[in-house]
Structure 1
Amino acid sequence: MGTGVTWLKCPGCRLKCRPAAVGAGGRCRRCDHDGLLRLTLGGREVQLVPETRQG
């Protein structure tokens, strides 16, 4: 299993961004939705981002 590229996608407004560009608390910067989807390209992972963000 190789390394993948991770993107986050908002199901509300369809904004796609890198994890470093997510708003406060892991929310969408455009519409403030809190259930962003984690998309990993080059891997097989698709999951919801946890509500609390470690950083």
Structure 2
Amino acid sequence: MARRNIPQEQQAAFATQQRQQVGAALWLAAGVLVLIVYRAVVHGMFAQGWWRVW
């Protein structure tokens, strides 16, 4: 991808947008992990093994 002279503000805005996307992805991953652990605990599946959660 050829890079032209991008104004500083536009570059900063793009970086901010990227950070927000990364943050959203992290929150989503954390939420999925919490959900899996919560389901495992509620259904008492740790006694049978964590693979049974799936």
Range class of TM-score, shorter chain: under 0.3
Structure of greater Rg: 2
Scaled by the length of structure 1, what TM-score is found?
0.18
Structure (1 or 2) with the greater helix fraction: 2
